[in-house]
Amino acid sequence: MDLSVRALNCLKAAEVDTLGDLVSFNKNDLMKFRNFGKKSLTELDELVHKRINTTVAKAKALKQFVEPLITKSKEDTTHNRRIVFAYLRSKYAVTDLFRDVAAKVGDRPGGYTRIIKVGNRLGDNADMAMIELVDFNELYNGGKKEVKKAKSRRGGKAKKADEATEAPAADAETTTEAAE
């Protein structure tokens, strides 16, 4: 995992070796680990949820850096893996990109990241933003799954009128068949 040295050492001391072990703990349990503070918790949260809080300028620069790499990850070849590894220099990040991220964004033609402005930082009043992968946010993607159709009160009358027009047509067909 790509965490700071402090966070990794805290997790090693708590005998958390895999991501599955890590997911079993909630935030309160993680804060009970020795030397595992708020900074380590936010790092871990950003890693799991595929988002980063940073300044707007850095987020825009990161977007230009990341989007071509995600496009390369859509086609899983050795050549593309080596190109992405030359930029990232982390086996974990490359495998995560080609396995998890590419599977979710496979049908999207572009625009894999979203920048959301979150206000100004308290210390120096810098414009802050959150950059995240579009398909990994359940809040924005959850509302698009099911769209309810509006019901009107007059729907019953329209159905009765349709049935009335269909019934005489059916009677006319039966009388023509009987006459033959």
pLDDT above 60 (res 48): yes
* Same-domain status, 67 and 99: yes
* Same-domain status, 42 and 56: no
Among 6, 51, 2, 45, smallest CA distance to 25 is for 45
- Write the single-letter amino acid at 13: A
* Same-domain status, 121 and 139: yes
* Same-domain status, 56 and 39: no
The residue ranges of DSSP E strands in 61-133, in sequence order, are 113-120, 127-133
The structure tokens 């703990």 sit at 25
pTM of the model: 0.60
Host domain of residue 34: 1-49
Express the helix, strand and coil content of the chain in percent, nearest 5 each.
60, 10, 30
For residue 166, being part of any structural domain is answered with no
Report yes or no: 85 and 94 within 8 Å, Cβ to Cβ: yes
* Same-domain status, 38 and 95: no
* Same-domain status, 70 and 124: yes
For residue 168, being part of any structural domain is answered with no
Assign 144 to helix, strand or coil. coil
* Same-domain status, 33 and 84: no
* Same-domain status, 10 and 69: no
For residue 180, being part of any structural domain is answered with no
Residue 59: pLDDT band (50, 70, 90) is very high
* Same-domain status, 73 and 28: no
For residue 106, being part of any structural domain is answered with yes
Report the CATH number that the domain containing residue 100 is assigned in CATH: 3.90.1030.10
Sign (positive or negative) of CA dihedral 49, 50, 55, 60: negative
Q: Which of 15-29, 44-58, 132-146 has the highest mean pLDDT?
A: 44-58
pLDDT of residue 67: 94
For residue 165, being part of any structural domain is answered with no
Among 65, 68, 111, 45, smallest CA distance to 53 is for 45
Residue 4: pLDDT band (50, 70, 90) is confident
For residue 66, being part of any structural domain is answered with yes
* Same-domain status, 56 and 130: yes
Distance between CA atoms of residues 4 and 42, nearest Å: 11
Q: How many domains does the chain have?
A: 2
Higher pLDDT, 20 or 52: 52
pLDDT above 60 (res 7): yes
Distance between CA atoms of residues 32 and 162, nearest Å: 68
Report yes or no: 63 and 115 within 8 Å, Cβ to Cβ: yes
* Same-domain status, 16 and 96: no
CA dist list (Å): 2 to 89, 103, 130, 131: 11, 21, 19, 17
* Same-domain status, 17 and 63: no
Residue 127: pLDDT band (50, 70, 90) is very high
